[in-house]
Amino acid sequence: MQYKKILTIQDISCVGQCSLTVALPILSAAGMETCILPSAVLSTHTAGFTGFTVRDLTDDIPGIAAHWKKEGIGFEAVYTGYLGSTQQIEYVKSIMETLLVPGGLKIVDPAMADNGKLYPAFDAEYVEAMKTLAFTADIILPNITEACFLTGVEYRESYDEKYINTLLDRLAESGAGTVVLTGVGYRDGKTGVVVAKGSDRSYYEHKKIAKGCHGTGDVYASAFVGALMNGMSAYDSAKLAADYTVRTIEVTQDDPTHWYGVKFEAVLPEFIRMLGK
Ligand code: PXL
């Protein structure tokens, strides 16, 4: 198979097992040449740590992108996660327009919210900017909270299939391409993922582990992109990423000192096997 070069744009949380420190090893394990564009450098992630430092790298992005363009560098996919500012979203859109090879994929994890709330760094203006990125992407990977912010549908803790279909209808009407909607569970002890393109929808249900863990959205999206870029369908990639993410929580859940992320490294060999490598 062709050696694929992909670009992932998200922050470096130096400690905390999320964003680039998760995406880079997982995509490398999937056999991708993984290029990175850090959106910001934080001492830790913002979900549970206090007093973290942040250096925003927005102003570095245009120069980096211009250099790549001059060198004739192109990517088979651009995959974005947690971004630092609305200005960055504009730069990311321009990178997607100029640095993807023909047929290259725009994959957006609109990492901005969970459990009904925006992450501390974000506001309504950021949500509006994220809509312009998400609705021009080929594939988006929102959780239910993010899908609500993207559509204006009210967030609900408990819901049925009709509610989820409304959410997916609204995303499709807004111009979403393929939607991988995560964290969709209809029964106790179960959660799952819906892969939707227009009115075509498939659901994969899997075990829900009681302990929620930080960073699993990034593990999931990175594993999904790794599988997809290995030629698997969106549905099979969504399924594989779910199975891998469950394993990362399983190997972490009994360690109370490891509250800030998942020990995804411990099960990377399983991920590689799941990919048939
Ligand atoms: O996992 C998403 C994420 C990524 N990066 C930073 C975060 C978070 C979630 O809170 O704070 C800096």
Task: Kindly state the average pLDDT of the residues 106-114.
Answer: 97
- For the segment 2-30, the average pLDDT, to the nearest whole number, is 96
Residue 212 contacts by C-beta under 8 Å, 6 or more apart in sequence? none
Phi (first) and psi of residue 217, to 5 degrees: -65, -40
pLDDT at 98 (0 to 100)? 98
Task: Give the angle 25-31-33 at the CA atoms, nearest 5°.
Answer: 75
CATH class of domain segment(s) 5-264: alpha beta
Residue from 18, 43, 141 to probe ligand 1 pocket by mutation (most atoms less than 8 Å from CB): 18
Q: What is the structure's pLDDT at 84? A: 83
Nearest C-alpha neighbor of 130 from the set 171, 183, 75: 171
Predicted confidence at residue 212, as pLDDT, reads 79
Please tell me the predicted confidence (pLDDT) of residue 211.
79
Q: Is 11 in the pocket of ligand 1 (CB under 6 A)?
A: yes
112 lines ligand 1 (CB under 6 A): no
CB contact burial 197-219 (16+ within 10 A = b; e otherwise)? beeebebbeeebbeeebbbbbbb
Percentage above 70 pLDDT, the chain: 99
Q: Which residues pair with 207 in a beta bridge?
A: 190
The answer, yes or no, to whether any atom of ligand 1 lies below 6 A from the CB of 23, is no
Q: What is the mean pLDDT of residues 93-97?
A: 98
In this predicted structure, the answer to whether residue 2 has a pLDDT above a threshold of 90 is no
Q: What is the pLDDT of residues 161-185, one digit of tens each?
A: 999 999 999 999 999 999 999 999 9
Q: With contact defined as beta carbons under 8 Å apart, do 24 and 7 qualify?
A: no
Question: What digits encode the pLDDT tens for the residues 209-232?
Answer: 877 789 999 999 999 999 999 999
Phi-psi label, residue 198: left if phi above 0, alpha if psi -120 to 50, beta otherwise: left
Taking only the tens place, the pLDDT of each residue in 130-173 is: 999 999 999 999 999 999 999 999 999 999 999 999 999 999 99
Give the mean pLDDT of 245-271: 96
- Quick one: pLDDT at residue 42? 97
Cα-to-chain-centroid distance, residue 196: 16
> pTM of whole model > 0.95?
yes
Residue with tokens 């829900």: 208
76 lines ligand 1 (CB under 6 A): no
CA distance 5 to 99: 11
Q: What is the mean pLDDT of residues 250-257?
A: 95
Mean pLDDT over 228-247 rounds to 98
- For the chain, the structural domain boundaries read 5-264
Q: How many CB atoms are located within 10 Å of the residue 10 CB? A: 28
- In DSSP terms, 181 is beta-bridged to 194
For residue 93, the model assigns a pLDDT of 98
Indicate the pLDDT class of residue 1, thresholds 50, 70 and 90.
low
